Amino acid sequence: MDKCKSVKVVLIGGGSGLAVVLKGLKRFNFDISAIVTMTDDGQSSGRIRKAGVFSPPGDIRKCITSLASDEELLTKLFEHRFKSIRGLNGHSLGNLILIALTEITGSFEQAIAATSSILKINGEVVPSTLEDVRLGAKLENGQIILGEKDIPVYGHRNPICDIMTIPEKVKANPKAVQKIKEADFVIMGPGSLYTSVLSNFLIDGIKKAVQETKAKSIYICNVSTERGETEGYSVLDHYQQIKKYTSNLDIDYILVNNHIVTEGQEGKLGAITNIKLSSNHLNGSKVISTDLIDEENPLYHNIEKLSKNLYKIISQSH
């Protein structure tokens, strides 16, 4: 039996950050489950939600295609975004397929299962909640911003102080809770700190499951700051926010970058820069500090570097 298959790895996040980790880890054949945030309201998902569908498919689609086996044409099909067809411009075909399958099968969960089967994915993709939920943020000036899409825009002008769900009480997806409790490793991040990673821990059932699981925990810190969310943040600032929203979870490992490529890039929504940490420990958590940067896209992780380091942590700790 493949030893990797017996190791249950649960990843919590959303957006492009989670998709990158999944794409790298799937080749090691772990028993992978991705717990995905359900607060997306931008681009295609936002338009779908406005049309009356409360389950945003975008982040789910990204994770499914990241875990797909080498069905290159099918993966491209699901990721295809329409550019020149009136009424469909900006929509991802994969999003529309997920919504169509929801109508056909009768549930979003069944639609995810059907799509996962079509793409023969190596793992399972699980929404953090099956309820209709939006993300809100309180800014430094006291203003409340509603909607994941708008939070970074206004967050650039006034830093984010707190985030919350609308409604305040959201029930966790029982399958997500079960996956976390049965895990050997729980991985948090990388990705947009507030809108992709921490949004999951606003759901009490998810946070409680992470607190109660016997799994070892790994936090992957972003390799750079992000406009409108974490401008001016250090690795310590990221870590402190993770601790805050997980109710001071004991984190076993922090995987951080130690290589600087971009000193600063100025854009209309502020400056972004690479961040690093050289310490071996941070408040009781073991720090693995190494070069994780994609040289061609230095604001993001390199898939190969990231996956190899995660594999090393998991294989040596299991």
Position 269 scores a pLDDT of: 46
pLDDT above 70: percentage of residues in the chain: 89
Q: Quote the mean pLDDT of the chain.
A: 89
Predicted pLDDT at 249:
96
Q: Note the pLDDT tens digit of each residue in 202-240.
A: 999 999 999 999 999 999 999 999 999 999 999 999 999
Domains of the chain: 3-13+169-317 (3.40.50.10680), 39-127 (no CATH)
pTM of model > 0.85: yes
User: CA 220, 239, 136 angle in degrees (round to 5)?
Assistant: 95
**Span of 50-59, 105-114, 134-143 with lowest mean pLDDT:** 50-59
pLDDT of residue 53: 57
Alpha helices (H) along the chain: 15-25, 43-50, 58-66, 72-79, 93-105, 108-118, 151-157, 174-182, 204-212, 235-245, 303-317
Which tops the pLDDT comparison, 169 or 261?
Answer: 169
pLDDT tens figures, 40-69: 876 655 555 555 555 788 899 999 999 998
The predicted model gives 75-93 an average pLDDT of 73
DSSP string, 277-300: ---SEETTEEEEEE--B-SSSTTS
